[in-house]
């Protein structure tokens, strides 16, 4: 989400807004969560992530990893062994975040069907002349 917009909507009349937005910015991105989950389960190596988060490209893995590390959500440890070995593990802060994310998981699970239904209904009601997308 968000482009190069450094200026958040901020001064909206509710302080929470910018905060939530801020968190979402941090966690959003197609791969952040998947990686965070892996790293929360324990230290993982680059290649492991590449395999487990399946679907992610090397590039995006690297980029996401860097951002997560930069925000203090991940700890990157390099072992100067013969074949380079790097491990990533979630920080306590990230683990807490993960727990909050679980709340969202619950919500999503509880309403997954309702949302799907809402979408279908909406699309059906509008797809009359609309070129179907999604």
Partner DNA sequence: CTGAATCCCACTAGATACTG
Partner DNA sequence: CAGTATCTAGTGGGATTCAG
User: What CA–CA distances, in Å, run from 80 to 83, 84, 87, 96, 98?
Assistant: 8, 6, 11, 30, 30
Would you count residue 86 as binding DNA (CB under 7 A)?
yes
Neighbours of 76 (CB within 10 A): 13
Residue from the set 3, 109, 113, 125 that interacts with DNA by CB under 7 A: 3
Pair of tokens at residue 2? 């968000």
Would you count residue 133 as binding DNA (CB under 7 A)?
yes
Would you count residue 34 as binding DNA (CB under 7 A)?
no
Would you count residue 111 as binding a copy of itself (CB under 8 A)?
yes
Distance of CA 29 to the CA centre of its chain: 5
Would you count residue 129 as binding DNA (CB under 7 A)?
no
Would you count residue 24 as binding a copy of itself (CB under 8 A)?
yes
Pair of tokens at residue 105? 């998981």
Residue from the set 24, 63, 93, 116 that interacts with DNA by CB under 7 A: 63
């Amino acid at each position: 989400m968000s482009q190069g917009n450094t200026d958040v909507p901020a001064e909206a009349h509710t302080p929470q807004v910018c905060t939530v937005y801020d968190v979402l910015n941090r966690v959003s991105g197609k791969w952040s969560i998947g990686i965070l989950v892996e790293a929360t389960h324990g230290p993982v190596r680059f290649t492991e992530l590449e395999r487990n988060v399946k679907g992610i490209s090397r590039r995006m893995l690297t980029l996401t990893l860097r951002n997560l590390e930069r925000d203090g959500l991940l700890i990157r440890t390099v072992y100067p062994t013969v074949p380079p070995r790097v491990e990533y593990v979630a920080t306590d802060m990230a683990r807490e975040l993960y727990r909050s994310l679980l709340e969202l998981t619950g919500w999503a699970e509880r309403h997954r069907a309702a949302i799907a239904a809402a979408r279908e209904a909406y699309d059906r009601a509008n797809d009359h002349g609309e070129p179907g997308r999604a």
